[in-house]
Structure 1
Amino acid sequence: MQHSTLKIEKVATILKLLGDKTRLTMVKLLEKNDCCVCEFVEIFEISQPAISQHIRKLKDAGIVKETRRGQWVFYSLIKDHDMYPLIQHILQHLPEQDDKLKELEEKGLRISCCE
């Protein structure tokens, strides 16, 4: 009984996190790409502290991890997370977000701060 209650709580937490449009889009972008905060700032056109707050919530839930490359920090999905199959199932119902990254590339902003 205890186990199923914990599972429901975990699922509810994930759904609550992904219930936010910005975080949901971030996770969809991270499904195929590692991204840096600066890229999210450009894509969502919101402040760096706001982006960092979204990322912190995803990190605290164990959905996203960070990897340091030089002075830059990149974020990626943790695909061995026990809730990843649920996340993956949700993501497959979403439109691709690759155009957002292509747009950044065309503007010369894709990982431009990170080179």
Structure 2
Amino acid sequence: MIQTTIEMEEVALILKLLGDNTRLTMMKLIEKQACCVCEFVEIFHVSQPSISQHLRKLKDLGLVREDRKGQWIFYSIDKNNEYYSFIKPILDQLPNQDYKLKELEENGRRISCC
């Protein structure tokens, strides 16, 4: 992994994006596995347009990537993004959020859109 210098404005933008609890939790959730918008709707109990706005902001900076599977889009962290080496230590410090996806599975709501 090549370490690049990040400009102060870019750092401020990344920290601002990750300063939102929903976006920060999303990033931790997709650190290990991809998630669909419908799963985020279930986890955060907010509307699909709201989730899509959060994802768009993360995607615009290249922090997340989309993978289409049929008509569904799954989101994951873009580990090839130039900012990944900056955000990885932040994500490493966060508490594990896998239990949220496990709860969806147990309730039969994991990937309910598919």
Same fold (TM over 0.5): yes
Structure 1 residues 1-115: aligned runs within 5 Å: 7-114=7-114
Work out the percentage of aligned pairs sharing the same amino acid: 66
| In 2: Cα distance, 1:86 partner to 1:110 partner | 30
Q: Which runs of 5+ in 1 are unaligned?
A: none
| In 2: Cα distance, 1:89 partner to 1:12 partner | 16
Runs of 4+ in 1 over 3 A off after TM superposition: none
Structure with the larger helix share: 1
Q: How many residues align?
A: 111
| In 1: Cα distance, 2:54 partner to 2:18 partner | 10
Which protein is bigger by CA-based radius of gyration? 1
Q: Which amino acid counterpart does residue 60 of structure 2 have in structure 1?
A: D
Q: Which runs of 5+ in 2 are unaligned?
A: none
| In 2: Cα distance, 1:41 partner to 1:57 partner | 16
1:61-85 C-alpha deviation (Å, 9 max, x unpaired):
1101111100111011100111101
Deviation at 1:112, TM superposition (A): 2.5
Give me the CA root mean square deviation.
1.4
Deviation at 1:11, TM superposition (A): 1.0
Deviation at 1:12, TM superposition (A): 0.9
| In 2: Cα distance, 1:52 partner to 1:86 partner | 24
